[in-house]
Structure 1
Amino acid sequence: MQYGDSTTFWQSLRIQGRVIYALLMREIITRYGRKNIGFLWLFVEPLLLTAIITIMWGVMKANRISDLNIIAFTVTGYPLAMMWRNTSNKAIGSISANIALLYHRNVRVLDTIFTRMLLEVLGASIAQIVIMAILIIFNLIDMPADIFYMLVAWIMMSFFAMGLGLIICSIAQYIEPFGKIWGTLAFVMIPLSGAFFFVDSLPTDIQEYAKWIPMISGTEMFRKGYFGDSVITHENILFLFSCDLVMIFIGLVMVRKFSEGIEP
């Protein structure tokens, strides 16, 4: 690469960064500037679910059966599921909400989709850190056994969420009713993501099928990082990493294909 080519590359990269930053600020102001509860819901929803499950756990006296910290079990599973569900849901409406911005030369269809997905991932990440910090401070859960392993799992699931968002958004562009159906499908898929069970607790024959669901590998990996050797997990890191790459590649190709026909 020649010097001129390198200069052009960095200039383009800076322009792209400014575009993403501007779109991100616009999305934050539009979504949370006028509806403050929208931002708070990032924390309220997982905390509310955790409280409900904890109460049910106590009423059923399930602590006599298992000494597992149900609060820790909930906050290491449900927020992950919420991240990929919300990211894919928000990706669907990203183009229609920002169609007028495509008049700007440097704004592309992919930019509008990526900005919404990035905001969801960042919001979910902040909410997860804050919630776990609060629970640790009040001694409701213990410190994680391996924070780095949890971080790797979260990053891999973030890429999974973005890859899924690209694909779902593309399908919704070709099949408009699918955009409305996906919200229900994503909600139904949450119990299949491993958010409410360990793979090791399933029958042996079902475990083999469960290992082929990428969300389960991400959840098992995240919980392994938190609970450490006190639990038995069945994550497949290579499989999850491969799924991330394949889904992002397919999603980018699909977005590039349909974006050719998008006009402001």
Structure 2
Amino acid sequence: MQSPPSHISHSARETLLRCARSWFLSRMTRAPKRPATWLVGGSAVHETTEFYDLHRISQGDEDPDLMKFELAGVWETCFEKLLFEAREREPNEYKWAQSKAEPVEVWRRIGLEFVQSYIDWRERSPWEIWTTPDGEPAVELDISGRLPGCEVEIKAYLDRVMKDPLFGKLWIIDLKTGKKPPATAAQFETYAALLKVKYGVDVHDGAAFMNRKGGLSKPFDLSEVTPESVGAVYGAAWEQIQGYLRTGLWPADTSDCFLCDVQASCAAVNGPLAPRYDPASPGYTPF
């Protein structure tokens, strides 16, 4: 059993709200996490587009055909590295979470297409990467910090902050390789509050860049977001965690376990590894 984490994040809060048992298994035990093909591919897209933006900032415009060739190599390197790491965790790819229509071999092709869709958008858009007051380009920007009302650090890495030169506005942009846009503004609200605390800037707009469609999702209005309002939300989540820690009871919601990467260790669904990792299992024997 690991010690309780000393921080919280948007993804951790989402997991907690969806299923407290999943949060416990993924963050309080050594339960192995099932790889997912879409996570491997999505992470590789993020890494490759990060390389593109940082290279563009440092080197400026260059031969587009040469850049495309380089990016193909970067994509392949990133994808293979992440595949290797996933196979180290689970060599049997049949046990991975993956769409039947998009196995590993399909991702080898579409992943680079998703990278190119971002590049095409960047080249036709007048928006540019924002530079922080510290002189850092806002690409995969670490904005972790504390908010009023939450006693622990909130970890956050923001894909992009971009500036619209026409209206002089900043936008929070999050890259999404999935098919559905974000259902709520929660992630963008978190980023806006942390940006305000860390850099003193107000960002009132956020949107997801949908790599499959090559454009932005419906924007979210962040003008009413404050560090206090977001901090209260995370403070409540942290208090909820403390309550579960005191009782030792972590309720499981089994209504939708498809996306859960620790279901093999969950007693609520009779996971084969539950006796090793889930104290709720009748045969629990930790190692």
**TM-score (norm. length: structure 1):** 0.36
Structure with greater proportional helix content: 1
Structure with greater proportional strand content: 2
Higher RCO (CA-CA < 8 Å; seq separation 6+)? 1
